Structure 1
Amino acid sequence: MQLRGGAAAIFLAVLIVFPTTDAFNVTSMLDKHSEFSTFNHYLSVTQLAPEINRRRTITVCVVDNPGMTDLLAKHLTLGGIKNVLSFHVLLDYFDAKKLHQITDGSALAATMYQATGSATGSSGFVNITDLSRGKVGFSPEDNGGNISATFVKSVEAQPYDISIIQISNLLPSYEAEAPAPAPSQVNITKLMSAHGCKVFADTLAGSPAETTFEGNIDSGLTIFCPGDEAMKSFLPKYNNLTAADQQSLLEYHAMPFYESLPGLRSNNGLTSTLATVGNKFVFTVQNDGTDVTIITKLVTAKIINTLVDNQPLAIFQVNKVLVPPELSKLGGLAPAPAPGPAAESPKSSKSKHKSPPAPPGPSESPADGPDGDVADQDSSGAEMVQIGGGILGALILTVWSTFLPL
């Protein structure tokens, strides 16, 4: 059935006013495959994922979690890790069929690392070779022809925008791995003390948690420090906790990766902390317009000030102490929340003193209680609605129903 002139014109206008979003989301595509959770995590925290999503005709060569071990053992900065992962993003589309039909048996592909302008000579190119017995090899162009990795399988594909394929191991790129200048040595407690968080800073300075904070700065750290008045009123309850619980509470105020304020506004959902073990000691990041809140089952705290936001370190002031529900009974902090459905797994993240938890499912956030705090509800919260899609759908249906009889 065809729309007549007026209906067609309005229908086209609706599509122009409400343009489509990115054709794909690489991290969402990889969320379906837990064996690549570490690779996927670093696509997010290095901010490489948004750059991939803005491109078309692209191939992401992923490795599984064990394959990432050697890279993480090198303790590269986030900038160094981003360079390495960029070297595994080819600026051309290769699915399994195309890999086995390479003209003349080999092809040279530019990478996103080459596109940064940081690569010298041919160091940003990957050579793909169709080997005997159906195998396909990958190697850096400057690797003397030695095969460094082989094709394992296709993971996801959206022809001909993006192909995600698994290769056997990471490709060596000594130039990409070259250490970037280390971040300036920041005294985080001194910095917090000078910007309205002295009580929290003094408390942190007397705890083993300070070592955990400092040990994560180079690889990425985001701190939420309560203001002085909030921390002062909480100190009596804090002093009732055991030493181990005090450390957990302090470490609960930081995420073991860097996240900017715009990143917090766009990446809502359940998130791990320095204190995270499994599904415990996690909280939810949620935004309301430009406001960002940190939500536990016991407290909803708002970011009210930015102290530092310079990768790999961000420090934000919040208006309340973040209270993990795991300590509610131990320290008499608040009534324990009512049992809910099994907690959702938090975002996978890297902490130098704990293994990262499993990656989450789709981001969900709990609703606030009447006083702004959260209680008696599951951490996974309510489903978020895509506003733009609803408006577009409503307008299209209105146009359709109005002009269909014509």
Structure 2
Amino acid sequence: MGAFHRLNLLHFTLSLVVIAVNGHNITAILEGFPDYSVYNSFLTQTKLADEINTRETITCLVLNNGAMAALTSKHPLSVVKNILSLHVLLDYYDPQKLHKISDGTTLTTTLYQTTGNAPGNLGFVNITDLQGGKVGFGSAIPGSKLDSSYTKSVKQIPYNISILEISAPIIAPGILTAPAPSSSGVNITGLLEKAGCKTFASLLTSSGVLKTYESALDKGLTVFAPSDEAFKAEGVPDLSKLTNAEQVSLLEYHASPDYKPKGTLKTTKDPISTLATNGAGKYDLT
């Protein structure tokens, strides 16, 4: 089992070295701006920070602590996540671009549009140059008002990430009652098989570790799944010769009980806890 661990760990570590160059970390950036500490905290609580960090080109419309306090005091975390995801634009907008919008107005896609819970234009934001140095923001739903406006630039890393402060939250009609994402009904083995990891999926089922994976879903789960080709590689030991306990440890080692997309992995320096961390072998991923 040790040889198999080293093989996968070496491959994974080398991959991190290659992809870490272009990463950004939104929470680390905002730590230098105490006026947005509440916003920054909720990016972590809602796990939106992880999703933001996976994007190569993005604009975050941030709210100061006063605006965030008013927002979060009225709504549960699931609604706050929906609202904040509407403030993450999947394009790069710096102050110069805001004032050079073609025809003076544009609709831009947000992170909320990617959730699958945004019918019509619910996941889009209307950006309008109001002239005189003012830029308005509002829902792209027809008839919506521009209830927010550009206040100031916070930070730009051209053309990777831009952080702009706006005056008030953008509240799209229906977003306050939109359903929160649910982990129930997620078919882990189906997703693995579709991704070319049928052998790994089969091992999860036969060993009983699938139930462990499923029980971790609500709090977040990241699976480091070897492809079918990886199991055929030279030097990989015969897993059928492992005891059941060894198979369980091996499979638990390939999952972290937390949601860790690529953006987070790019910037992670500390050992990553796995489902095997608290087991007999106490295996962390490094």
Q: TM-score per shorter chain, which class?
A: 0.5 to 0.7
Alignment CA distance shift 1:288-1:178 (3 Å) = same
Name the counterpart of 2:51.
51
3-state SS of paired residue (1:131): strand
> Aligned residue pairs: how many?
188
Give, in angstroms, the shift of residue 70 of structure 1.
2.6
Cα deviation, 1:79-136, whole Å, max 9, x if unaligned, reads: 2221111100111110000001111111110111012111011111111111121100
| Correspondence 1:134-153 to 2 at 5 A | 134-142=133-141, 144-153=143-152
1:81–1:107 CA distance, 2 compared to 1 (3 A)? same
Partner of 1:106: 105
- Three-state SS of the structure 2 residue aligned to 1:262 is coil
Q: In structure 2, do the counterparts of structure 1 residues 304 and 112 end up closer, same or farther at CA, with 3 Å as the change threshold?
A: same
Secondary structure in 1 aligned to 2:132?
helix
User: Scaled by the length of structure 2, what TM-score is found?
Assistant: 0.58
**Aligned to 1:142, what secondary structure does the other structure show?**
coil
**Secondary structure of 2:258's aligned partner:** helix
Runs (5+) with no aligned partner, structure 2: 1-13, 183-217, 220-255, 265-269, 280-285
Please report how far the alpha carbon of residue 32 of structure 1 lies from its aligned counterpart in structure 2 after TM superposition: 0.7
Confirm or deny: 8 A CA contact 2:59 2:161 kept in the other structure: yes
Partners of 2:274 and 2:161 in 1: how far apart?
A: 34
SS at match of 1:129: strand
Based on CA coordinates, which of the two structures has the bigger radius of gyration?
1
1:182 CA drift (Å):
11
Matched residues in 1 for 2:273 and 2:58: separation? 33
Where in structure 2 are the equivalents of 1:263-302 lying within 5 Å?
290=273
2: CA distance, partners of 1:71 / 1:83: 12
Say if 2:141 and 2:172, in contact at 8 Å, map to a contact too.
Answer: no
Secondary structure, counterpart of 2:174 in structure 1: helix
- Aligned match of 2:118: 119
- By how many angstroms is 1:23 displaced? 2.0
Supply the AA of the counterpart residue of 2:24: F
Alignment of 1:60 onto 2:56: no
- CA–CA distance in structure 1, aligned partners of residues 67 and 16 of structure 2: 45
5 Å-filtered alignment, 1:154-173, equals 154-173=153-172
Contact 2:257-2:274 at 8 Å conserved across structures: no
Question: 1:31: which partner in 2?
Answer: 31
Amino acid at match of 1:70: A
Aligned AA for 1:23?
Answer: G
Change (3 A) 1:83 1:24: same
1:262 equivalent in alignment to 2:245:
no
Distance 2:103 2:87 in 1: 23
- The gaps in structure 1 that reach 5 residues or longer are 1-14, 184-219, 222-259, 268-286, 293-302, 306-387, 389-406
**1:2-401 map, 5 Å:** 18-21=17-20, 22-76=22-76, 78-142=77-141, 144-178=143-177, 180=179, 261-262=257-258, 290=273, 304=278
Q: How far off is 1:27 after superposition?
A: 0.8
> For the residues of structure 2 that align with 1:61 and 1:127, how far apart are their CA atoms?
13
> Once the 2 structures are TM-superposed, how far is the Cα of residue 49 of structure 1 from its aligned partner?
0.7
Q: Secondary structure of 1:19's partner?
A: helix
How far does residue 142 in structure 1 lie from its aligned partner after superposition? 1.2
Deviation at 1:46, TM superposition (A): 0.8
Q: Which has the higher helix share?
A: 2
User: Quick one: distance in 2 between partners of 1:88 and 1:173?
Assistant: 11
Q: Provide the C-alpha distance between the structure 1 equivalents of 2:139 and 2:156, rounded to a whole number of angstroms.
A: 24
Q: SS in structure 2 opposite 1:146?
A: coil
Structure 1 pair 60–132 and aligned structure 2 pair: CA distance change class (3 A): same
Give the C-alpha shift of residue 304 in structure 1.
4.5
Asked if the contact 1:57–1:93 (Cα under 8 Å) also holds between the matched residues in 2, the reply is yes
Give the CA RMSD over aligned residues.
3.3
Deviation of the 1:261 alpha carbon? 3.9
Structure 1 distance, partners of 2:118, 2:141, is 12
Q: Secondary structure of the equivalent of 1:169?
A: coil
> Contact 1:119/1:175 (CA < 8 Å) preserved in 2?
no
- Label 1:116 to 1:17 Cα distance change in 2 as closer, same or farther (>3 A): closer
Q: 2:117, 2:178 within 8 Å by CA — same for their partners in 1?
A: no
SS in 1 for 2:169: coil
**Counterpart code for 1:131:** L
**Aligned AA (2:139):** P
Q: Distance in 1 between matches of 2:180 and 2:135?
A: 36
Distance 2:155 2:175 in 1: 26
